Structure 1
Amino acid sequence: MNSIRRRLNVFFVVVITLLLGISGAYSYWRTQAELAEDLTQTGKSLRSRLETSLPSPLWNFDDYQLDRILDSEMISPKIQQIVIENNGRMVAGRVSSGIGRVERLTKQPSRYGDEIEFDVFYQDNPQRSIGKVLVRLSSAPMEQQLQKQVISKVAEIVILDIILVLALSRSLTLLLVRPLKQLHDMLQRAADQTDAGISDAALRLPASQFIEFSDVTSGYNRIARRLLDDLRKRKETEDAMREAKESAEKALQQLKETQNSLVQAEKMASLGGLVAGIAHEINTPVGVILTSASVLSEDSRSFQKNIESGTIKKSDLLRYTETAVQSSALIQTNAERAAALIQSFKRVAVDQTSEARRAYDLKEYIEEVILSLRPTLRHSALTVDVDCPEDIKIDGYPGALSQIITNMVTNTIAHAFDPGQQGTLCIEAEQDEGVVRMVFSDDGKGIQASHIGRIFDPFFTTRRGAGGSGLGLNIVYNLVTQTLGGTISVSSAPGSGTRFSIIFPSVAPEPVKQPAPSDD
């Protein structure tokens, strides 16, 4: 969180630093110009002196005097190098080593282009040049002086900034931060206050000596009084609200228990329909087996009598053999059919009564569930068409899918068509990149627009007086979104049928483990 004191400190430090920086930059520029001018004057003075002092020793070839003149001039730290030439050949030269020592030049030095160059003329013949002088001035003293000035200015800025920050922080602490801290503490105390019996004086803020804080203090005291009044009023209503809450919680608990009972009733009703389907479907193959076994038993007894009496003929043996083969084939075929039906019904029944996870073939499982619903479908005029590829494999909870298909079929029979009305329910499935899409579409009477947004709500039904519980599609919605980890959508219009689209992953997500209830 930003601090006013920090912001003011930063603002003033930046302003002072900026002003001092501008002042220092101007001073630096003026000093640099003055030092540059001084260096220029040094070069002019040196030229004037050398033009006066060099002609005599050059003309007389007085090397001793020439060396003295050069050594005396090189004392100045502003002079880097002096070279005297005659006819392009160096006569004498000195160079500063940079560490306070002057060295004699023994060979012609390189030129850098910044040398001061002038001719030396003999006094008796000003038109005749007796030598040439090359002088290089040193900017090192000027740079050192400028560097010292910069360091001095930076130190001055830092010291002034530190003094300003300390003074400003102290002033802000006394005049602003401390009163604001007192106001903050009282506001925090008022915000945390829950005791309606506290006195007004406990939350009153003393008057401030500053006009700027006086209005704030007065406003706070009014708020504190109003807060205490509100606390007292809230205390009076808390008991009533607590009783209302307890009553609502009891009603909610009863509603949840009722909903769970109805959900279990829906599952048991589906299981009851499954049991009826088992009995009806197995009745036919069992009847064929019983008839074939009776015929075979009767022919076997007759054949045995003929053997015992010794009247057996070849025709009797052939007839008995034919009857035994046919009866055995019928018994075996219908026993295998009954066993397959029992196995199919067993898988569906186990899935509907458990939450086990396993891998299964989608098309095969849909057909098994539809087979278990044959008794229900026979009492209606609904035709169920399944369009599903053979290669869709699911790793998930078949019990949830069985309940979804069962509820969708029974919901279509109950709501999409009038009793005895012909209709078709199409179940389509496809798989794309690990996602399965199932569509349940019928050509029934559709759903009113005002009901579309409520069909997944628990206990919503348009057949309340005809046995509808209003939980069928709510169970479907919860199974799709929670158990299968998918989504469900619906589109419909009166007279145009209804289309439910369910999308879920081929590999169901792991169930979310609910935290264990605390003992507290």
Structure 2
Amino acid sequence: MATTSITLLLSSGYSLYSQIKHNEDKVRQKLTVLAKVMAANVAKDVANARPLSGAAEERLKSLEASSMITNAHIYFDNEDGSQSFFTSYNKSGQSTIPNKIGQLDGLYSGNEVSGGIELAHPIVFMGKKVGDLYMRASTDELSTFITESVAFHALLFILMLLIATFLALRLQRAITWPLTQAINLLHKTMKERNYAHRAGPSQIAEIDKLNNATNLLLQRIEEIIDKQKEAEAQHKKLNTSLEQMVSQRTVALKEANQELIQTLEKLHQFQRQIVQNEKMASLGDMVAGVAHEVNTPIGLGVTASTMMLDRLTTIKEQFDAKTLKASTMSRFIDEGQENLNIIYRNLNRAAELISSFKQVAVDQTSEASREVNVKQLINEILLSLRPRLKKTPHEVVVNCPDDLILETKAGPINQILINLIVNSIIHAFEDNEKGIITITISMLTEDNLRLIYTDTGSGIPNSIRKRIFDPFVTTKRGQGGSGLGMHLVYNLVTQGLNGSITLNSEEGQGVEFVIVFPVKKH
């Protein structure tokens, strides 16, 4: 309603302004035409400078016929460029006005004054300006017209506003009533949550379309709710069934977990047994090495003692027969001294070997820290593996300072090196080609030892490289390989020595194990 009122007000105002502007322009135009005509009529009289003849004044009196002209002046131009008053006209009942000499140039385009409009126009005779005509027109008629127009437009605006209000109320009632019913229907539906309600038909096409759309929406919502209820029922049924299934599966899972725990326990026992077997096999190899290494010096000692016993028997027989010569006795003494030296050296060698093997055996079964000469420890380990290494063309190179004495756990180092060397013999050099094993020892920091073990063998296959330290990973499955050697090495390094081990290997290019663990340097 406010929009309608503003629209009517603006349109009425614009119409009123247009009419006033038009009439004002009409007055100006009429005044201009009268000025032109009158200037032309009095041009000859002004040019001849005949104010006393009364011709110009008579012509000005003809302005009585125009109700709008109230005053008129004629001025003529002097030869020195100044102007003089010529004659004037004043409408009956109108007072005279002062002359406009010196102001006429500014009135050529017209000027509004209180109650009127004044205008000046040049008087031209035979192409020469001879003076000026000044005229003043009353705007009383224009004011009367404006007053009447304002009143008329005000009445028209009020009438149109009343008509618009009446029509708006009728239209509002015709439109808002069905809309109100539709809104009430929706509120009722939302409050009762009963989507079976429907809106009735309407005589207004747009409202009828809205009602149909509302009914369709309610129908869709009702269908969705029905489907949702059905789905919830199925969901509850499914949940009940699922809970029963989960309960059954939980029982089965607990039983399977129990079986798995028992299986894992058996597997751990089996793993510990295999690790122990590996240790016993290593110990067996060491015992075989002890037997082989000790057998040689003892055999030489037995041979020398046997020869000495035979010579002693011969000397005794000759002594008993009193045929013993001084030269024979002297030769016996020399041979006896030589044989005793042989027996002493070999028995001493056997004692040293047994002592070394004893230390290696103690280290293999001991987890205690002791002060060791690292190079001597490695040599003792290699000595225990000599019988196995002698059967191969491979070479073991040790790079270690002779005077490197540390306090560490010799047992894990012993088992680590034995497992790495045996692993290289079995896997890296299986084609019996000559290989080189290098053991390099250096101090990484003041308290950390670095052991680098390398071989020139076939390397580790890509398929097992990332799993090399996992248990039961081997390329000799079914050929006697347990797959626990490298797993044992990893555990000995990380748990036995509190260190770390990293592998660098490319298939066909050998291996490099870098072992770092803490020690105490002396």
Report the TM-score when normalising by structure 1.
Answer: 0.52
Alpha-carbon separation, structure 1, partners of 2:520 and 2:489: 19
Among residues 359, 367, 370, which one is paired with 1:355 in the alignment? Answer: 367
- 1:498 shift after superposition: 0.8
Q: What whole-Å deviation, never above 9, does each CA across 1:252-290 have from its counterpart, x for those lacking one?
A: 111111111111111111011111111111111111101
**Match of 1:23?**
none
Q: Do structure 1's residue 448 and structure 2's residue 457 form an aligned pair?
A: no
**Match of 1:251?**
263
Q: Do structure 1's residue 499 and structure 2's residue 512 form an aligned pair?
A: yes
Alpha-carbon separation, structure 2, partners of 1:482 and 1:254: 23
Aligned ranges 1:71-82 → 2 under 5 Å = none
Q: Do structure 1's residue 438 and structure 2's residue 451 form an aligned pair?
A: yes
**Match of 1:395?**
407
Among residues 293, 297, 303, which one is paired with 2:315 in the alignment? Answer: 303
Q: Do structure 1's residue 341 and structure 2's residue 353 form an aligned pair?
A: yes
**Match of 1:412?**
424
Aligned ranges 1:268-283 → 2 under 5 Å = 268-283=280-295
**Match of 2:501?**
488
SS of aligned partner of 1:324: helix
Alpha-carbon separation, structure 2, partners of 1:247 and 1:394: 48
Q: Which amino acid aligns with 1:382?
A: H
Q: Which amino acid aligns with 2:315?
A: F
Q: Which amino acid aligns with 2:507?
A: P
Alpha-carbon separation, structure 2, partners of 1:487 and 1:347: 26
- 1:358 shift after superposition: 2.5
Q: Kindly indicate whether the alpha-carbon contact (under 8 Å) linking 1:393 and 1:506 is maintained by their aligned counterparts in 2.
A: no
SS of aligned partner of 2:318: helix
Q: Which amino acid aligns with 2:423?
A: N
SS of aligned partner of 2:457: coil
Q: Which amino acid aligns with 1:318?
A: S
Q: What whole-Å deviation, never above 9, does each CA across 1:64-97 have from its counterpart, x for those lacking one?
A: xxxxxxxxxxxxxxxxxxxxxxxxxxxxxxxxxx
Q: Kindly indicate whether the alpha-carbon contact (under 8 Å) linking 2:500 and 2:517 is maintained by their aligned counterparts in 1.
A: yes
- 1:420 shift after superposition: 2.0
Unaligned runs of 5+ in 1: 1-225, 509-520
- 1:413 shift after superposition: 0.7
Alpha-carbon separation, structure 1, partners of 2:252 and 2:309: 83
Aligned ranges 1:375-394 → 2 under 5 Å = 375-394=387-406
Q: What whole-Å deviation, never above 9, does each CA across 1:414-456 have from its counterpart, x for those lacking one?
A: 1112332211111111124121111111111112333221110
Q: Kindly indicate whether the alpha-carbon contact (under 8 Å) linking 1:443 and 1:498 is maintained by their aligned counterparts in 2.
A: yes
Q: Kindly indicate whether the alpha-carbon contact (under 8 Å) linking 2:367 and 2:496 is maintained by their aligned counterparts in 1.
A: no
Aligned ranges 1:6-17 → 2 under 5 Å = none
**Match of 2:273?**
261
Alpha-carbon separation, structure 2, partners of 1:435 and 1:227: 61
CA distance change for structure 1 residues 314 and 493 in 2, over 3 Å: closer, same or farther?
same
Q: Which amino acid aligns with 1:292?
A: A
Q: Which amino acid aligns with 1:465?
A: G
- 1:344 shift after superposition: 0.8
Aligned ranges 1:41-440 → 2 under 5 Å = 235-431=247-443, 432-440=445-453
**Match of 1:90?**
none
Q: Kindly indicate whether the alpha-carbon contact (under 8 Å) linking 2:458 and 2:507 is maintained by their aligned counterparts in 1.
A: yes
SS of aligned partner of 1:428: strand
Q: Kindly indicate whether the alpha-carbon contact (under 8 Å) linking 1:380 and 1:419 is maintained by their aligned counterparts in 2.
A: no
- 1:373 shift after superposition: 0.8
Q: Kindly indicate whether the alpha-carbon contact (under 8 Å) linking 2:464 and 2:473 is maintained by their aligned counterparts in 1.
A: no
- 1:236 shift after superposition: 4.9
Q: Which amino acid aligns with 2:306?
A: S
Alpha-carbon separation, structure 1, partners of 2:248 and 2:297: 76
Q: Kindly indicate whether the alpha-carbon contact (under 8 Å) linking 1:263 and 1:475 is maintained by their aligned counterparts in 2.
A: yes
Q: Kindly indicate whether the alpha-carbon contact (under 8 Å) linking 1:362 and 1:394 is maintained by their aligned counterparts in 2.
A: yes
- 1:233 shift after superposition: 6.9
Alpha-carbon separation, structure 2, partners of 1:264 and 1:344: 23
Q: Which amino acid aligns with 2:318?
A: N
Alpha-carbon separation, structure 1, partners of 2:262 and 2:520: 39
**Match of 1:38?**
none
- 1:248 shift after superposition: 1.3
Alpha-carbon separation, structure 2, partners of 1:245 and 1:489: 35
**Match of 2:471?**
458
Q: Which amino acid aligns with 1:380?
A: T
SS of aligned partner of 2:288: helix
Q: Kindly indicate whether the alpha-carbon contact (under 8 Å) linking 2:447 and 2:520 is maintained by their aligned counterparts in 1.
A: yes
Farther off after superposition, 316-325 or 264-273: 316-325
Alpha-carbon separation, structure 2, partners of 1:462 and 1:469: 10
Alpha-carbon separation, structure 1, partners of 2:498 and 2:508: 32
SS of aligned partner of 1:500: strand
Alpha-carbon separation, structure 2, partners of 1:507 and 1:404: 19
Q: Kindly indicate whether the alpha-carbon contact (under 8 Å) linking 2:497 and 2:517 is maintained by their aligned counterparts in 1.
A: yes
Unaligned runs of 5+ in 2: 1-237
Q: What whole-Å deviation, never above 9, does each CA across 1:122-169 have from its counterpart, x for those lacking one?
A: xxxxxxxxxxxxxxxxxxxxxxxxxxxxxxxxxxxxxxxxxxxxxxxx
Alpha-carbon separation, structure 2, partners of 1:252 and 1:426: 38
- 1:229 shift after superposition: 10
Alpha-carbon separation, structure 1, partners of 2:307 and 2:244: 95
Q: Kindly indicate whether the alpha-carbon contact (under 8 Å) linking 2:289 and 2:385 is maintained by their aligned counterparts in 1.
A: yes
Q: Which amino acid aligns with 1:451?
A: I
- 1:375 shift after superposition: 1.6
**Match of 2:111?**
none
CA distance change for structure 1 residues 227 and 437 in 2, over 3 Å: closer, same or farther?
farther
SS of aligned partner of 1:461: coil
